[in-house]
């Protein structure tokens, strides 16, 4: 069984690795992803906002998975939502 210190170390490394892979997938820049991953791992290991950093890395990973499954990129999602809204309003007008 892992001690609390070992668990914190493994969790920090895992969060950094997940962040690097997810950000690299989303933006395609290895150095930016590595820099953010180092920040995530370092902050988590030092105990600075560990909860927020770990939750943030989880959210980034979920976003990368969603994009990989075909959902629009974040910069395109507002446009997609507006198109859905316009389609719903158009269908509502036709139904009246």
Range of the domain at 28: 4-71
Does 78 reside within a domain?
no
Number of domains comprising the chain: 1
pLDDT in tens, 40-96: 999 988 888 888 888 888 988 988 888 888 877 667 777 877 888 888 888 777 766
Does 28 reside within a domain?
yes
Does 33 reside within a domain?
yes
In the predicted model, is pLDDT for residue 16 greater than 90? yes
Does 51 reside within a domain?
yes
- Cα dihedral value 79, 80, 82, 84, nearest 10: 170
> Which pLDDT score, from 0 to 100, does residue 33 have?
93
Does 90 reside within a domain?
no
| Alpha-carbon gap, residue 67 to 7, rounded angstroms | 30
Does 10 reside within a domain?
yes
């Amino acid at each position: 069984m892992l001690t609390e210190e070992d668990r914190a170390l493994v969790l920090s490394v895992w969060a950094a690795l997940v962040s690097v892979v997810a950000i690299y997938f989303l933006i395609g820049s290895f150095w930016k992803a590595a820099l953010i991953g180092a920040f995530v791992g370092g902050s988590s290991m030092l105990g600075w906002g560990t909860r927020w950093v770990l939750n943030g890395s989880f959210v980034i990973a979920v976003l990368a998975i969603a994009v990989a499954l075909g959902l629009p990129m974040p910069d395109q999602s507002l446009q997609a939502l507006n198109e859905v809204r316009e389609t719903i309003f158009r269908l509502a007008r036709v139904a009246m």
